[in-house]
Amino acid sequence: MPNGKYIELCIDTAPGGLGSQYIAAVTLGTTSEVLIPLGKFLLANEDAPSLFIATGAGIAPFKPMIEQLLTVVKTTQPIFLYWGIGYEKTVFWEDMWQRWTRECPNFAYTICLSREDVCDLTAHCRFKGRVTAFLETQTHFSDCQAYLCGSSEMIQQTKTLLQTKGMPESAIHFERYS
């Protein structure tokens, strides 16, 4: 949260690693020591149109970044969020994305469902397929800053796609989670 009063975590327990197992089993009220994130994945240019492209739990760093642009900086520049996730039932934070869409005319999002057999494409902001397949249909990349967070494969495919569409490499910022 931009005001710095609390920490909100977004944790994918599906991988089954030691941390995931701990989080899945911990009870409410348990006290733990943690090391805060030490990365440098920050907004590069608050005055440019922004593309936020994530897969899975890669959505986590984008919530505070977008929130800062909308509520602190109060940018009027376009902000696009494209989130690739497997199944409809695993979508979260959508009430917030919808609220931002209503309150901020410069914000738009699309959820790309890659593993759903049947997809209600009449539902708000949905695309059936991978986020990279959706990006192939888009053309508004000039003068944007792109922020990518997800698997190494998605990062590489998206970087190549954005550069093919004319985005300079210097405008592409990323964080891999695998």
- Tens digits of per-residue pLDDT, 35-73? 666 667 888 888 899 999 999 889 999 999 999 999 999
Q: Flag whether 19 is in a domain.
A: no
Predicted pLDDT at 1? 43
Range with lowest mean pLDDT among 9-13, 59-63, 95-99, 100-104: 9-13
Q: Flag whether 92 is in a domain.
A: yes
Tell me how many domains the chain contains: 1
Q: Flag whether 75 is in a domain.
A: yes
Residue 9, both tokens = 């975590």
Q: What is the mean pLDDT of the chain?
A: 85
* CATH number, domain with residue 60: 3.40.50.80
Q: Flag whether 35 is in a domain.
A: no
The domain in which residue 74 lies consists of: 41-176
Q: Flag whether 5 is in a domain.
A: no
CA nearest 12: which of 142, 178, 147? 178
Most confident of 8-17, 40-49, 130-139: 130-139
pLDDT tier for residue 123 given thresholds of 50, 70 and 90? low
C-alpha to C-alpha distance for 169 and 145, rounded to whole angstroms: 10
C-alpha to C-alpha distance for 107 and 102, rounded to whole angstroms: 9
Cβ proximity of 146 and 51 under 8 Å: yes
| SS3 category, 15 | coil
- Cα angle 112, 115, 120 (rounded to 5 degrees) comes to 60
Q: Flag whether 104 is in a domain.
A: yes
**Which residue do the tokens 């509520």 mark?**
71
Examine the pLDDT at 98 and tell me if it is beyond 60. yes
- Tens digits of per-residue pLDDT, 139-158? 878 789 999 999 899 999 99
Residues near 66 by beta carbon (within 8 Å), at least 6 away in sequence: 50, 52, 79, 81, 100, 107
**Which residue do the tokens 């899975």 mark?**
56
Predicted pLDDT at 159? 96
